[in-house]
Amino acid sequence: MYNRKQKNAFTIIEIMVVIVILGVLASLAIPRLGTAIELFRSKEGLHVLQSILQAQLSADVDVAEGRIGSYNLAYLDVDIVNLKNFNAPVLDFNGSGSPPNVTINSVNYPVYAHIVRLTNAYTLYIQVDGTILCNTQAICTQMQYAPW
């Protein structure tokens, strides 16, 4: 009888099986991670637009009381500094007439303000009722923004 030594290492087959399993798990997780990161980044634009709308609603009360107009970002009581993922927001509605329309997916939507992602990948819009719209189907569907 010969004496077989006790095995202290993994075989190459065992290592390859583990690598394949890790590769499959990574291929499932990485796309979801990218979507989660972009959703997190989009929240910056979302919060800016909601802050502008809330400041606008407050300023409308001031206008009714005879104070300065509220359709200029400089007059709104909102601080927008150091945006990391978006360009400066733009007020689309000047207070006269109806809000301008933006066409998304062949449908016209009246919008109050918008903000563009630094990479120009998409634009977020806010309607006067607070609904957030997004103009790029591939990205916005994953982030579950209207109208997709």
Find the CATH number of the domain harbouring 120.
Answer: 3.30.700
Class of residue 47 by CB neighbours under 10 A (exposed 0-12, middle 13-18, buried 19+) = exposed
Domain ranges, residue 84: 12-143
Comparing 138 with 148, which gets the higher pLDDT?
Answer: 138
pLDDT value at residue 22: 95
pLDDT tens column, 79-110: 888 899 999 998 887 666 677 888 888 888 88
Rounded CA-CA distance 143/116 in Å is 15
DSSP state for residue 74 in the 8-state scheme? G
How many domains does the chain contain in total?
1
pLDDT tens column, 18-74: 999 999 999 988 888 888 888 888 899 999 999 888 887 777 665 555 544 466 777
pLDDT value at residue 87: 92
The yes-or-no verdict on residue 147 having pLDDT over 80 is: no
Question: 88 CB contacts (<8 Å, ≥6 apart)?
Answer: 80, 115
Evaluate whether residue 57 is within a structural domain.
yes
Rounded CA-CA distance 59/20 in Å is 59
Instruction: Check: CB of residue 101 under 8 Å from CB of residue 113.
Output: no
The yes-or-no verdict on residue 3 having pLDDT over 80 is: no
Give the pTM: 0.72
pLDDT value at residue 68: 47
pLDDT value at residue 31: 80
Evaluate whether residue 1 is within a structural domain.
no
